[in-house]
Amino acid sequence: MTQLPRPSQLHSPYGTFDLSRYPFRVGETLLAWCGADTLALEEVHRRAIAGARILVVNDAHGALCVALQPQALWTDSMLAVQALRQNERANNRPQTPVIWSTDAPTVAVDLVVLRVPKQRVYLEYQLSELARLLPTGAIVLTAGMDKHLSPHTAAMLERYIGPTERLPGKRKARLFIAVRDRRQVVERDVSATYYCAPLGANLDNLPNVFSQDKLDAGTRFLLEHLHLAEPVETAMDLACGNGVIGLVAVKQGLAENLVFCDESALAIASARHNATTIFPQQSHSFQFHHGDGLAHYAGAAAQLILCNPPFHQEHIVNEFAGRRLLQQCSEYLAPQDHLLLVANRHLDYLPLLRCRFSDVKKCASNAKFTILSARKG
């Protein structure tokens, strides 16, 4: 029997709502909201801005959107949108329009409710775009948990938006109120470029992309072991980030076609740019899937999946995200198809793989990482 998420009740000035985290995890102990969400909802209600047109930014599981019913949600995350849709259905709320992070919002708004993202440069990108959008007098209410806030948060709001008030902290969270004034929009180049030796080319990366400014050590270790994979018609770079694993696979002749998958819109945009820039003559053989892993993937069938699974969701260390991707791989791959991945040594994926694949091997390891190979019987 399929287990359904068990919601918890969020009591807010806008009503009581049954909310669940997404993706569902058996025995989940974390709530679908935090102290920063509740402080933000209370402050918006306290200000009682009649008829305010609201834009919500970075709502992780839908708590803000379900309560406020804003003009739109501006987000990078497909998982966040899936969480929102789940909680809208559970509470009989209409669907909130979504603006992906690759697009600048154009909706008319008086109030922005923004949850501070993990990456500072991504916050700067968002503030710069909001400064272009907002009329003088519009409010940016920024919320974050104390342990995730930079000491420079208020200064960034002052720089990009206008005069900023730092409210007293409560529930291990804090709010900042910035009012848009007439100052000029601060131009900020938020992209990053680094030379990737295994690829022999520069990689351009948008904000909020994993390891934006350098090749991470785990991916480098996997690239050193791509020879363990046999050439196939179609390969997939799952949780692709900027696309580096898939692009090196193309350079090494491992696949005629390559599918890049990620839940981040900015990651997919980065992978698309890099693939079509580095291999312009092969751009017809690339596909790009912005989605919840393989949950709703209906593109070309891949015989090889290459993966450096994530083990964070938002600010939280969460190996469940990686395990869920590997479960999806086991359900997707056909007999004799191949999964090749790198994992931190402390993440013991071997028992899961051995339950779901018939031929599982630990191919290589160093002080921090392990290369695992799995095939369906």
The residue type of 161 is I
CA 4 → CA 90, 130, 291, 323, distances in Å? 12, 38, 21, 18
Q: Domain boundary at 179, 207, 241, which?
A: 179
Q: What share of the chain is helix, strand, coil (3-state, %, to 5)?
A: 30, 30, 40
Q: Are residues 144 and 285 in the same domain?
A: no
The per-residue pLDDT for range 95-129, each reduced to its tens digit, is 999 999 999 999 999 999 999 999 999 999 999 99
In tens digits, the chain (377 residues) has pLDDT values of: 445 566 799 999 999 999 999 988 777 788 999 999 999 999 999 987 756 899 999 999 999 999 999 999 999 999 999 999 999 999 999 999 999 999 999 999 999 999 999 999 999 999 999 999 999 999 999 999 999 899 999 999 999 999 999 999 999 999 999 999 988 888 888 899 999 999 999 999 999 999 999 999 999 999 999 999 999 999 999 999 999 999 999 999 999 999 999 999 999 999 999 999 999 999 999 999 999 999 999 999 999 999 999 875 565 666 788 999 999 999 999 999 999 999 999 888 999 999 999 999 999 999 999 999 999 87
Q: Domain boundary at 179, 214, 237, which?
A: 179
Structure tokens at 358: 């018939």
- Alpha-carbon distance 172 to 35, whole Å? 7
41 within a domain of the structure (yes/no): yes
CA 58 → CA 62, 70, 122, distances in Å? 9, 13, 11
Domain range for residue 22?
8-179
Judge contact between 3 and 31, C-beta under 8 A.
no
Q: Are residues 260 and 312 in the same domain?
A: yes
Structure tokens at 331: 């359900």
Collapsing DSSP to helix, strand or coil, 114 comes out as strand
How many domains does the chain contain in total?
2
Query: For a pLDDT cut of 90, what percent of the chain falls above it?
Result: 85
Nearest to 183 by CA among 206, 199, 201, 162: 162
Q: Are residues 137 and 85 in the same domain?
A: yes
Q: Are residues 142 and 249 in the same domain?
A: no
Q: Are residues 252 and 356 in the same domain?
A: yes
- Alpha-carbon distance 115 to 21, whole Å? 16
- Alpha-carbon distance 157 to 124, whole Å? 9
At 48 the pLDDT is 77
The per-residue pLDDT for range 290-340, each reduced to its tens digit, is 999 999 999 999 999 999 998 755 656 667 889 999 999 999 999 999 999
Q: Are residues 201 and 300 in the same domain?
A: yes
- Number of CB atoms found within 10 A of residue 354's CB: 12
2 within a domain of the structure (yes/no): no
Q: Are residues 111 and 136 in the same domain?
A: yes
* E strand or H helix that includes residue 125: helix 120-133
Q: Are residues 62 and 153 in the same domain?
A: yes
Q: Are residues 286 and 172 in the same domain?
A: no
- Look at the block and give the residue holding tokens 């270790």: 221
**Residue 343's domain is classified under what CATH number?**
3.40.50.150
Taking the alpha carbons of 121, 126, 293, 248 in that order, is the dihedral positive or negative? Answer: negative
Q: Are residues 169 and 204 in the same domain?
A: no
Q: Are residues 123 and 200 in the same domain?
A: no
